Every structure is written in structure tokens, then in C-alpha cells.
Amino acid sequence: MLIDYLPILLLGLFAVLFAGINLALTHILGPKRPTRAKLSVYESGVQPVGDARQRFTIRFDLIAMLFIIFDIEVVFLYPWAVVFKKFSETSGLFILIEMLVFIGILLLGYIYAWKKGGLTWD
């Protein structure tokens, strides 16, 4: 039974050894010419000011999560739009109502987030 897992174990061992050997050879054989420009911190071409461990408010995370949630929901509209014309002759009204219910639920979530102040940026 355990012998069946031997190829997976060998593949994992080979992958780890291959990655380790490549990293070691790159470190040993690679050129090392550090300059002031290469050693400086780079972030959007702007010189960093202040502490790197600055704390952000939870509002930043909430807005980011809300954006991701509503952005992902838009992905569900694309397949619906692609097949709507194909099925519009037979069950077009049902598909339309189903998508209107989906958009209505999204709208309720958006209004809820708006009323709770999740979209205000101080």
C-alpha cells in the first residue's frame, strides 16, 4: 500500500533537490556587484518615508474585501450573457428573472454595506 506512494515521494524529493541545487549554484556562481541603487528600497519609484510597519485601519481591509466580493460577482454575469441569446427562445424569461434576482441580492448587499458605512473612507 505504501509502495504506491513511492513515485510521489521521489518526485517531491527530486523537486526539492532540484530547487535547492539551482538556488545554491546561483548563489555561488552568480555575479555580486552591489551598488547603492541596487541596495536601496524600491516602491513605485518613490523613496520610502516613515516606518515600514505602519498600521492600517480595518476600514482599508473592509473596502478591499467588499471590492473583491462585488468584483467576483460580476464574473458570474459573463457566462449568463453568453448563453442568454441561445436560451432566449425556450426559457428566456426564466433566465432573465433569475439574473434579476441575483442582481437584486447584490444590490441589497451593496445597500447594506453603504448604510453600515463600509464604503466611507476617512
d(Cα 108, Cα 116) in Å, to the nearest integer? Answer: 12
Spell out the domains of the chain, with CATH numbers in brackets: 2-115 (1.20.58)
Q: Is the pLDDT reported for residue 93 higher than 90? A: no
Mean pLDDT of the chain: 84
Quick: pLDDT tens for 2-51.
889 999 999 999 999 999 999 999 999 988 888 887 777 766 767 667 77
Q: Is the pLDDT reported for residue 60 higher than 70? A: yes
- The pLDDT value given to residue 43: 65
The distance of Cα 11 from the centroid of its chain, to the nearest Å, equals: 29
d(Cα 11, Cα 9) in Å, to the nearest integer? Answer: 5
Please give the share of the chain, as a percent, with pLDDT higher than 90. 23
User: 61 pLDDT band (50/70/90 cuts)?
Assistant: confident
In this predicted model, which residue has the larger pLDDT, 53 or 24? 24
* Per-state percent for the chain, helix, strand, coil, to nearest 5: 75, 0, 25
